[in-house]
C-alpha cells in the first residue's frame, strides 16, 4: 500500500534538493530526507537513481563528423539573419565583414558601423583580424584558408541558473581552416546561445526535456540519427522550445538578459607580433523604418574578465575600491572550491574588460596583488572568517583561472592552494581545429566530468515546485553574472 509522506518530510526533501542544486558545482551534495521511512516508492526511486552511462562525445562535447556536417558556418549565419527578419537587406557575407571590421579603426575601416577605436578602455586596436573584413569565408569551404569548419557542439546545461531563468547554454564552435596547418593564422568562433525556458513559472523543472535530450544521445548508437536530432535541436527546437540558433539568443543586453553571446579566440599573427586574445561580441537589430532592418555585430565586454589594474589599485585613505569590495565580499567565497570545477567567480559587468589577453600580464592577476595594504589585508580577514587556509595570493591566482585568458593559457600548471593545480589547455584553446579536446576538458577530473555529474544529478533529482523555482532576479543582476548556475563556470 502506497503511503503519502508528511508535508514536513516532503518540504524537507525539496529544501535539500534545492540546496543540492546550488552545491552541484562542488559535486558533494547527497540528497537525504529527514524521515526516509515516510518517502513514497517514487521518492525512493528518484533518490537512488542509478547514474546513467553518459558518453562525453555524444552528450557533452560532440565532435562527431556526421553531426558537425549538419552545421556549415554559412547555414548558422543565414539562420541568424533569417530569424532576425533582415535577409532582404543583409547577407551573411555583409554581416561577417562588418563583424570583423570591428578589429579595424576608423582610419582602416572597410565598412560602416562601429570600430575598435570606439572602445575607451585599454584595448588592442587595430588587430590583424581586421583583414577578414575583405574576405569571403563562404566560398571554397575546406580549402579556402579563410573559411571555417565546425569542430564542436557543446552542451552547457550546467550553466542553467538554479531559478530556471533559462535552460542553459548551447554552443557551436568553428575553426578557421588555415589553423589546421598554420599556427600563426588561427581564429576560432563560438556561438553561445542561452536557451529560453518556455515555462519560467515552473522554474528549472521545466528544463528537464533539454537535459533528457542530451542524456539520451548517449544511448543512440547510430551517428546519423544523433546528427539529425542535434540538427533539429539547434535549428528547429525541441517540442515547446525555441531553436538554439536564433538571433535573439546572441544579444545579451539588459533588454534580453537571458540571451547569450558570440566569443572568439583570435591569433592571426601574419604581419607583426600580436598577442593571442579572446573577445566577445553581441548582436543588435537596428531599423531605419520597420521594413529596413539590419543586424549589427558589436564589441562587448568579456564576461568574468576584470581589468588587472583593479587588483593593483590603491584607494586613498586605506579604503577599498568598489571592485575590491565586491571581490572580498562576493568573489572570495566562490573561489574557495576544493577542485578545479568548484572554483567560481561572477564579476559584475562594470569591472570587465573588452579583451582577455592570453599572453600579456593584465589578465594574470596574482602578480598585481599588493603583498601588503588594505586589499591584501581585507582578503586575509575574509579567509580567516571563512576558516580557509588559502592565502590572498592563492585566491587571486584562482581569479585568474576564471578569465578567458587564464582558463585557456595563463593558469596552466598554476598551483592554486588546497593541493591542486589548474589543468592544461591545448595551448590557448580547449579544442583544436583537428577536434582534439584539451586535458582540462577531457581529463578524469576535468570540466566534462563535472558537467556529466551536474546532468546526472539533475535528472536523478525530483523536480521542485514552481514556488521554489520561479524566484525573480532583475536583468541587471543576470548581466552582472549574479545568478548561480547548476554547476558550471562560463569560461570553462
Residue 418 has pLDDT above 60, yes or no: yes
* pLDDT exceeds cutoff 60 at 87: yes
Q: Note the pLDDT tens digit of each residue in 159-175.
A: 999 999 999 999 999 99
Kindly report, residue by residue over 437-456, the tens digit of the pLDDT.
999 999 988 999 999 999 99
Query: Which residue did the predictor score with more confidence, 169 or 490?
Result: 169
Residue 10: pLDDT above 90? no
Report the C-alpha gap between 217 and 211 in whole angstroms: 10
Q: Say what percent of the chain tops pLDDT 90.
A: 75
The residues spanned by each domain of the chain are 1-48, 53-302+448-479, 309-427
pLDDT value of position 7: 32
Alpha helices in 217-262 (DSSP H): 223-235
Q: Does residue 365 surpass a pLDDT of 70? A: yes
The Cα–Cα gap between 473 and 5 comes to 32
At a CB cut-off of 8 Å and minimum separation 6, what does 107 contact? none
| SS3 state of residue 147 | coil
Whether the pTM exceeds 0.75: the reply is yes
Of 423, 437, 490, the C-alpha closest to 278 is 490
Please tell me which residue, 290 or 158, carries the higher pLDDT value. 158
pLDDT at position 45, please? Answer: 37
Task: Give residue 489's pLDDT band: very low, low, confident or very high (50, 70, 90).
Answer: confident
In percent, how much of the chain has pLDDT > 70? 83
**Better pLDDT: 255 or 124:** 124
Residue 490: pLDDT above 90?
no
Q: What is the mean pLDDT of residues 330-352?
A: 95
Mean of the per-residue pLDDT values for the chain? 86
pLDDT at residue 467, as a whole number: 33
What pLDDT is recorded for position 272? 66
String of DSSP letters for 266-313: EEE-SSS----EEEEEEEEEEESSTTSEEEEEEEEPPTT-B-THHHH-
What are the pLDDT digits (tens) for 174-191?
999 999 999 999 999 999
pLDDT at position 314, please?
A: 94
Answer yes or no: is pLDDT of 27 > 70.
Answer: no
For the cut 90, the answer to whether the pLDDT of residue 355 exceeds it is yes
Contact of 40 with 2, CB cutoff 8 Å: yes
Average pLDDT on 135-147 reads 98
pLDDT 10s digits, 262-312: 999 999 986 667 899 999 999 999 998 877 899 999 999 999 999 999 999
Amino acid at each position: 500500500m502506497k503511503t503519502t509522506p508528511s508535508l514536513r518530510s516532503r518540504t524537507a526533501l525539496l529544501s535539500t534538493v534545492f540546496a543540492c542544486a546550488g552545491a552541484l558545482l562542488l559535486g558533494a551534495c547527497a540528497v537525504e530526507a529527514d524521515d526516509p521511512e515516510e518517502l513514497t516508492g517514487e521518492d525512493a526511486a528518484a533518490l537512488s537513481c542509478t547514474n546513467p552511462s553518459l558518453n562525453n562525445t555524444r552528450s557533452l562535447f560532440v565532435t562527431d563528423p556526421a553531426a558537425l556536417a549538419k552545421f556549415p558556418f554559412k547555414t548558422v549565419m543565414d539562420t541568424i539573419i533569417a530569424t532576425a527578419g533582415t535577409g532582404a537587406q543583409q547577407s551573411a557575407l555583409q554581416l561577417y565583414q562588418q563583424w570583423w571590421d570591428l578589429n579595424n579603426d576608423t582610419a582602416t575601416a572597410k565598412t560602416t558601423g562601429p570600430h575598435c577605436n570606439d572602445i575607451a578602455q585599454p584595448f588592442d586596436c587595430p588587430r590583424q583580424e581586421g583583414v577578414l573584413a575583405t574576405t569571403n569565408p563562404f566560398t571554397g569551404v575546406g580549402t579556402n584558408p579563410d573559411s571555417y569548419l565546425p569542430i564542436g557542439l557543446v552542451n552547457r546545461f550546467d550553466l542553467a541558473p538554479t531559478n530556471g531563468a533559462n535552460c542553459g547554454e548551447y554552443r557551436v564552435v568553428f575553426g578557421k581552416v588555415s589553423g589546421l596547418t598554420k599556427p600563426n593564422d588561427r581564429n576560432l568562433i563560438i556561438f553561445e546561445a542561452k536557451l529560453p525556458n518556455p515555462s519560467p513559472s515552473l522554474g528549472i523543472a521545466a528544463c528537464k526535456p533539454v537535459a533528457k535530450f542530451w542524456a539520451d544521445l548517449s544511448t543512440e548508437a547510430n551517428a546519423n540519427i544523433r546528427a539529425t536530432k542535434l540538427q533539429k535541436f539547434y535549428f528547429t527546437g525541441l517540442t515547446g522550445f525555441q531553436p538554439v540558433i536564433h538571433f535573439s539568443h546572441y544579444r545579451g543586453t539588459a533588454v534580453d538578459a537571458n540571451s547569450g553571446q558570440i566569443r572568439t579566440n583570435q591569433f592571426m599573427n601574419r604581419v607583426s607580433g600580436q598577442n593571442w586574445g579572446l573577445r566577445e561580441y553581441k548582436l543588435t537589430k537596428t531599423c531605419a523604418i520597420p521594413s529596413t532592418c539590419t543586424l549589427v555585430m558589436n564589441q562587448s565586454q568579456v564576461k568574468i574578465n576584470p581589468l588587472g589594474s583593479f587588483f593593483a589599485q590603491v584607494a586613498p585613505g586605506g579604503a577599498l575600491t568598489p571592485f575590491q569590495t565586491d571581490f572580498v565580499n562576493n568573489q572570495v567565497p566562490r573561489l574557495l572550491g576544493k577542485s578545479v570545477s568548484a572554483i567560481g567567480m561572477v564579476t559584475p559587468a562594470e569591472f570587465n574588460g573588452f579583451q582577455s589577453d592570453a599572453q600579456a600580464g593584465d589578465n594574470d592577476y596574482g602578480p598585481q596583488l599588493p603583498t601588503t595594504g588594505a586589499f591584501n589585508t581585507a582578503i586575509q580577514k575574509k579567509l580567516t572568517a571563512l576558516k580557509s587556509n588559502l592565502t590572498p595570493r592563492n585566491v587571486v591566482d584562482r581569479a585568474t583561472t576564471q578569465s578567458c585568458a587564464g582558463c585557456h593559457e595563463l593558469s596552466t600548471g598554476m598551483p592554486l592552494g588546497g593541493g591542486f593545480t589548474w589543468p592544461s589547455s591545448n595551448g590557448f584553446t580547449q579544442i583544436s581545429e583537428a577536434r582534439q579536446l584539451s586535458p582540462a576538458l577531457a581529463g578524469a577530473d576535468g570540466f566534462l566530468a563535472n558537467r556529466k555529474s551536474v546532468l546526472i544529478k539533475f535528472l536523478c533529482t525530483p523536480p521542485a515546485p514552481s514556488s521554489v523555482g520561479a524566484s525573480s532576479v532583475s536583468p541587471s543582476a543576470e548581466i552582472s553574472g549574479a545568478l548561480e548556475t547548476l554547476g558550471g563556470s562560463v569560461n570553462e
